[in-house]
Amino acid sequence: MQGLVQAMQTQAQNQAALQAQLEGQERADVWWASLLCTRFEDGAIEVAWDAFVRLFRAKFVPEHIQDRME
């Protein structure tokens, strides 16, 4: 019985983690689409990978974590 309860808790945790990941991905997709429209002329201007990474980190990675990444 205890194993069943643990399995159910694990499943609930996995489901919550997946939901959070999907919501984060949706936020990032909306942010990127908006950025393409406003700063990069609807994607007509190419964005270098390092520029994308810099913009992404500035938006989604807290500063104290960015400091550790350097």
Q: Determine the pLDDT at residue 50.
A: 92
Per the model's pLDDT, the better-predicted residue between 66 and 2 turns out to be: 66
Q: Determine the pLDDT at residue 4.
A: 67
Q: State how far the alpha carbon of 31 is from the alpha carbons of 16, 36, 37, 50, 59, in Å.
A: 22, 9, 10, 17, 9
Locate tokens 């959070």: which residue? 20
For the chain, the 3-state helix, strand and coil shares in percent, each to the nearest 5, are 85, 0, 15
Alpha-carbon span 44 to 20, nearest angstrom: 32
How does pLDDT run across 11-57, given as a tens digit for each residue?
878 788 878 888 888 999 999 888 888 888 777 788 899 999 999 98
Question: Global pTM?
Answer: 0.59
Q: Determine the pLDDT at residue 39.
A: 83
